Structure 1
């Protein structure tokens, strides 16, 4: 599945414009904005001039921020260009290792009869996107799909559908008005807010989400939400990806059963998919 690493450009621009006046620590906010710009770069690299222009601040200020980030290992210098530093990998790994859900996810997948042979992921809903937190690779793994840290529009993936489907219908209307034009990656992608809401209603009825070549041709995916731990628990979902050429209805049903078991293990055992 072709992932998106960052939020929409308009959202990113707004955050940059608002940061200096609304932040109690503008230097820290700008440092975070530098990391956002580097993450959004198509090449993963940017020059001092590029960063200063994108952030709308003087080169001297940008240079000072970059020096501090480089000293901390958060960015790396490659000639005249900068890229994200390895320290971010350590920080991300530390964050993920402390999440009980991640440890339980890998343990369950390794022991499940069907999922142990598949490519399984856990994702977090972030507005109208999902962020992939972990990926279990069975044999063989489906390599053309999102991996840890990737961000994907919710309307393009099964786990995004499953998580948005759990929201109140009022939230659907806010996020996806009927005339909203949605991201498109293949001829099978859902194109409008109206179509997406019709799909969400089907998902609420059947209790799981299915993606049929909507983000990657030749690839299908099944997903379910994880029952929320408390009113403010993380909005997590789990999905399994397969090649359409070898995918069967029997396989789909087995995947759904095990995904639902995984979701119960990760969430509140008393939780259940709401059909109200």
Structure 2
């Protein structure tokens, strides 16, 4: 959405470029901002007839650390832009975990999916938690701070099923003039195309045994950019990829059984979304 929806020809504009916005809201130096009007001045909320946008995927928290910084991000955002309207896009948890696993491995995680989801290793460093995907908690927190009418929740599945309806919902919520900027989405344009689990396993082993990073300091090579290192494409028959995906999905389903039903029921109650239609786990 950052590259294809929230752009000038659709009536939107960036209040601040992604990288500086990331460091202003998500990773500012501790205790360095005492006057939040100064922080607000970093953003340009006066874009004429364009709707200013702050779009950051980890505003709800870093998945690597179980979203432990998410609440701090929420309150920083509320100080910078108390009048903001909030778009939250959710996704069925098992599909989301496949995406999160890919992201974490790409950025240096040496953990298998089993260890990631059931990390019983000793230590007090924040780690991924299944509660990161309790959407009802996030929705309730943002509504409490910004107001119920200022928070729109949409399922990613709607984007896949009916892209124009998804975009129209966002435009209406944002106050975009649909006659001047007709809603249009191209479902054939994809960002962050999925990598095969075989390729991810090679990258994970690279992270564990070769790369020396903050996530895995035991390696012998210090890459400049971990996201660009250790990426190999391993040719394999389609049957191998299908088998690996099936095994991965079965493992995630078994390890998350019973974790999300109540949260999804609360999310359905908060939003009115028909989550059963898109395969979200719900109480029997």
Identify whether the pair has TM-score above 0.5, normalized to the shorter chain: no
TM-score (norm 1): 0.27
Higher relative contact order (CA 8 A, sep 6+): 2
TM-score (norm 2): 0.27
